[in-house]
Amino acid sequence: MNDSRGTGKRLTTQRRTARGLLAAMLGALSMACPTAQAVDVDAGDYTALPDGTNLALLYYQHATRDALIADGHKANLNAGLDSDVGILRGVHFMDVGGYIVDPQFLLPFGKLKAKDDLSALGDADGMGDLILAATVWLVNDPKSSTYFGITPFLFLPTGDYDKHDSLNLGENRWKFALQAGYITQIAPKLLLDVVADVTVYGDNDDFGPTGVTLKQDPSVQLQGFLRYQMSDTWDLRAGISHTTGGETEVAGVSQNDSLRTTKMTLGTAVFVTPTVQLMANYGRDIDVRNGLREDNRLNLRILKVF
pLDDT digits (tens, 9 = 90+) for 106-165: 999 999 999 999 898 899 999 999 999 999 999 999 999 999 999 999 999 999 999 999
pLDDT in tens, 26-72: 454 555 454 455 689 999 999 999 999 999 999 999 999 999 998 89
Q: What is the DSSP letter of 211?
A: T
Predicted local confidence at residue 70, as pLDDT: 87
H helix or E strand, kind and range, residue 5? helix 2-30
pLDDT at 230: 98
Among 173, 93, 191, which Cα is nearest to 128's? Answer: 173
> Could you tell me if 186 and 194 are in contact, meaning their C-beta atoms sit under 8 angstroms apart?
no
| pLDDT of 134 | 98
Q: What's the predicted TM-score (pTM) here?
A: 0.90
Task: Please give the mean pLDDT across all residues of the chain.
Answer: 90
Categorize the per-residue pLDDT at 198 as very low, low, confident or very high, splitting at 50, 70 and 90: very high
Backbone torsions φ then ψ of 121, nearest 5 degrees: -75, -15
247 neighbors 260 (Cβ within 8 angstroms): no
In the chain, the domains with their CATH numbers are 2-305 (2.40.160.40)
pLDDT digits (tens, 9 = 90+) for 287-305: 999 989 999 999 999 999 9
- For residues 93 and 115, give the distance between their C-alpha atoms in angstroms, rounded to a whole number: 42
Q: Which helix (H) or strand (E) holds 16?
A: helix 2-30
Sheet holding 248-250, edge to edge: 204-207, 212-216, 248-250, 253-254
Residue 160, burial from CB neighbour count under 10 angstroms (0-12, 13-18, 19+): middle
User: Do the strands 79-92 and 99-116 form a parallel or antiparallel pair, or are they unpaired?
Assistant: antiparallel
